[in-house]
Amino acid sequence: MIREHHLAVRRTARYFTLGTASPDVRELWIACHGYGQLAAPFLSSFAPIAAPSRLVVAPEALSRFYLDRTLRTSEPPPRVGATWMTREDRDSEIADQVSYLDDLHDALQEQLEGQAASTDGRVRLRVVGFSQGVATVSRWMAYGRTRADALILWAGSFPPDVDLAALAPRLHRSAVTFVVGARDELAPWANADVQLQRFTEAGIAARLVTFEGGHRLDDATLVSLSE
């Protein structure tokens, strides 16, 4: 008889930073990439908001895979992407990614502890999820121990398995923003409108920001959100 078992193991996670942990840092951004992306090129999209007062961190999803099939040795090597999870063994995948992001946040806060230049000595946390990363950061905020000052859900769908009523108290002091491109073929703005309504009905204050573009991060919108 075939039985399923689980064993928790240690593994190495990779993340990239834009900026330096220093006494000037007043904001920590943790940004989760979309399906099939890698953290380093994703993080390069945040260059327009780079500043001495801001540390932007992009954790990389734990599951990497080849995006292309290479059939001949003469062909270029296949590109590599990463995914936060699939439907296979999803509960364990979710638990692992929540634990990973909590541990990363704790490690970053420890680096910044006591260094902040803000008057209250506290570094504000902004969490960004892009595309598949929207579901990832939503579950993190719902099931993890970390609390964000601002939550930006960009071009992705809020996961239906997360109870918004239960999430509401955790986002009580958070500024929630949905962002989507007006020409986004994967996450049309109409769907974001519906999600915004769901948040409002659950008592979570949120707003919708759109820009002229497709399924991507937008420089001007990022700058506006950072101000």
Q: Where are the domains of the chain?
A: 15-69+97-226
Burial of residue 13, with CB atoms counted within 10 A of its CB: 0-12 exposed, 13-18 middle, 19 or more buried: middle
Low-confidence residues of the chain: pLDDT under 70 = 71, 114-121
* Inter-residue contact 82 to 33 (CB < 8 Å): yes
* Inter-residue contact 174 to 150 (CB < 8 Å): yes
Fold of 15-69+97-226: Rossmann fold (3.40.50)
pLDDT value for 187: 87
Phi, psi of 130, rounded to the nearest 5 degrees: -115, 130
Give kind and range of the element (H or E) at residue 47: none
Q: Which of 37, 155, 36, 47 is closest to 17 using CA atoms?
A: 47
pLDDT value for 119: 46
Q: What is the DSSP letter of 22?
A: S
pLDDT value for 118: 47
* Inter-residue contact 116 to 25 (CB < 8 Å): yes
pLDDT value for 55: 98
